[in-house]
Amino acid sequence: MMKRIAKHLPHYLSLAGILIAGVVGFLVFSYERAFQIAVAIGLALAYVAWGIIHHAIHRDLYLSVVVEYIVVASLGLVVILSLIFRA
């Protein structure tokens, strides 16, 4: 089990970096909704790109996996946008 975690650790650290950059982007651009929307869209696209690259490297990239990443990113984007426009 530890070998499996160690094998994927660089990939998950890069994903954590993408998500942390998104949070930092929201904090830095807290004064402007348009920038926050751009950060949210960029974060969703980066998440989908990360998922495609990760699965392509491990040779288990299928259409269903791509659709799953797109759906999860879309749902996250809807939640973030609804919070941005709520205020």
Q: How confident is the model at residue 87, as a pLDDT?
A: 59
SS (H, E, C) 16-46: HHHHHHHHHHHHHCCCCHHHHHHHHHHHHHH
Q: Is the pLDDT of residue 72 over 90?
A: yes
From first CA to last CA, the distance across the chain in angstroms is: 45
* Interval 15-51: pLDDT, tens: 999 999 999 998 999 889 999 999 999 999 999 999 9
Q: Which residues contact 37 (CB under 8 A, 6 or more apart)?
A: 81, 84
SS3 81: helix
Predicted model pTM: 0.90
Q: Is the pLDDT of residue 6 over 90?
A: no
